[in-house]
Amino acid sequence: MMSELSRGWRWAGRYFLLGLVVMTGLGAIAQPGQVRVPPSRKPSILFILADDLGYGDLGCYGQTKIKTPNLDRMAAEGMRFRDFYAGSTVCAPSRCTLMTGLNTGHALIRGNALVALRPQDLTVAELLKQAGYHTGLIGKWGLGNENTTGVPQKKGFDEFLGYLDQVHAHDYYTDHLWRYDPRTSAKPGYDGQMTFPENQAGKQGLYMDDLFTSAALNFLRINKPDQFNNYRPFFLYLSYTIPHANNEEGQRTGNGMQVPTNVPYSDQPWPATEKNKAAMITRLDTYVGRLMDRLKDLKIDDSTIIFFTSDNGPHQEGGVDPKFFQSAGPLRGIKRDLYEGGIRVPLIVRWPGKIKEGTVSDRISAFWDFLPTAADIARVKAPAPLDGLSLLPALLGKPQTNQHDFLYWEFHERGFQQAVRMGDWKAVRPKVGAPLELYNLKTDEGEKQNVAVQNPEIVAKIEDYLKTARTESDQWPVKPAKPMAAKKAEEK
């Protein structure tokens, strides 16, 4: 695998020497040498998001077959959360909650239709940019296509390279991506395409997640905060597409798990799809290791906080069986379910010298907590109202008295479903008008026994909450856009 990775990075390096390094400006390179950031200076933030990675897909969360040594090391050097939730059970609404601090009962985007963020939808990137951060997005966006109000450069990102549309993001060997940087644009606000001849006419010469890693490594080098002059921290949102399936490739060949090589699993007696899935996850793990090493090489390790998580639970697309690796761990359900396996995901946070090594948190939290956490890190006031609460006290090992009374989800692609987490209790309404199912996660983490009948007072409390849990939206329910509706595997 390493030779294939090296080849991808060499290809990617060619583009960044010709384009992206110029885009970000060579003048931003910091002075060499170890200089510890004074406490008064704001730390940089690196947020790494996987796509369809399950709760049980990492070694530090119980995986025994897929190798993830770098993410396991990250957990050993930081904090691992056991009760952390994605914003939704599919990508676009989940990413919307991450960016806006609002759950799917209040956020604009509540499903995988082509809906763009509006000017009034404040994102974490806009907040951090106002706080003096240099902001970058590399990878998958999904919150606004070209010529809309939701493109990244209109939502707080100084630089962008990646996919705007979540269907385009299925293709790991696309022949073009979108890019934006005002310092090299032909005119203000210009956003254009970056093309890859080696992927044209069906060729597969450049793997996009390899490219994203090279872009991220360059971003860290070029935007390293200058310790001596005008110190400016960065916020990099690195949004990988691994291990999402290429659904269209899966329909065509039966194997939608696109990866340059299935090393180190080539000799395993597994189906080809499962070898590829495992290789994708280990490849992602290698990326994370390279990023952590780059932070150390740049002497900004202790002034950068890293988050790693996934946008929803494991999928069953592209020919894979999520049960093969027990990708949901002990949890019930997968992507497109509001049971735990569809929405509970890994969260690892590392900040040397600030977060105690090897800690495990049982704090119940979700994607919408990231915006207030980032605001707390940047020492700026978060907007109100929000559904999220800052995790910073918990990360730093300080007392944190404010807890979520409820976490709420709604999902519109299978009619209308709702879910609530209240302490140890989890409620699911599988369809409109159906009675609530109730599970005690303390004793039944796999949601096997519905105990609603035995606990009418708990059901009544959650039903009262549901009366005020959401606001009506003129956007939802909506029919998925034609590109999404055409992908039958996406709707399974």
Structure token pair of residue 112: 């995988």
Query: What is residue 183's predicted lDDT score, i.e. its pLDDT?
Result: 73
Q: Which residues of 192-222 are buried (b: 16+ CB within 10 A; e: fewer)?
A: eebebeebeeeeeebbbbbbbbbbbbbbbbb
DSSP 8-state secondary structure symbol assigned to residue 16: I
Give the three-state DSSP class for 357: coil
Contact 208, 177 (CB under 8 A): yes
Chain centroid to CA 227: how far? Answer: 30
CA distance 487 to 181: 32
User: Which residue do the tokens 């939608």 mark?
Assistant: 256
For residue 281, list its beta bridge partners: none
CA gyration radius, the chain: 21
Furthest C-alpha separation in the chain: 66
Contact 308, 216 (CB under 8 A): no
DSSP letters for 169-184: GG-TT-SEEEEE-TTT
Query: What is residue 395's predicted lDDT score, i.e. its pLDDT?
Result: 97
Structure token pair of residue 27: 């003048």
* Tens digit of each residue's pLDDT, the chain (492 residues): 444 444 444 444 444 433 443 333 322 323 333 334 455 689 999 999 999 999 999 999 999 999 999 999 999 999 999 999 999 999 999 999 999 999 999 999 999 988 999 999 999 999 999 999 999 999 999 999 999 999 999 999 999 999 999 999 999 999 999 999 877 655 444 458 899 999 999 999 999 999 999 999 999 999 999 766 678 999 999 999 999 999 999 999 999 999 999 999 999 999 999 999 999 999 999 999 999 999 999 999 999 999 999 999 999 999 999 999 999 999 999 999 999 999 999 999 999 999 999 999 999 999 999 999 999 999 999 999 999 999 999 999 998 889 999 999 999 988 899 999 999 999 999 999 999 999 999 999 999 999 999 999 999 999 999 999 999 876 666 554 443 333 433 433
Chain centroid to CA 418: how far? Answer: 22
Contact 56, 313 (CB under 8 A): no
Structure token pair of residue 491: 């709707």
CA distance 146 to 140: 14
CA distance 53 to 70: 15
| Beta strand extents in 52-96 (DSSP E only) | 79-81, 84-85
Contact 171, 487 (CB under 8 A): no
Give the three-state DSSP class for 366: strand
**Between the CA of residue 240 and those of 28, 76, 81, what are the distances in Å?**
25, 22, 21
Evaluated on CA atoms 467, 472, 477, 480, the torsion sign reads: negative
For residue 435, list its beta bridge partners: none
**Between the CA of residue 282 and those of 63, 151, 443, what are the distances in Å?**
12, 31, 32
Give the sheet arrangement for strand 347-350, strand by strand.
Answer: 192-195, 176-180, 159-163, 134-140, 234-239, 44-50, 304-310, 347-350, 79-81, 359-361
CA distance 244 to 170: 7
Query: What is residue 400's predicted lDDT score, i.e. its pLDDT?
Result: 81
Contact 370, 307 (CB under 8 A): yes
Q: Which residues of 119-150 are buried (b: 16+ CB within 10 A; e: fewer)?
A: eebbbbbbbbbebebbbbbbbbbbbbbeeeeb
CA distance 40 to 86: 32
| pTM passes above 0.85 | yes
Query: What is residue 473's predicted lDDT score, i.e. its pLDDT?
Result: 79
Closest CA to 156 of 123, 116, 108: 123
Find all residues with CB under 8 Å of 257, minimum gap 6, and list them: 243, 245, 246, 250, 273, 276, 277, 280, 318, 319, 320
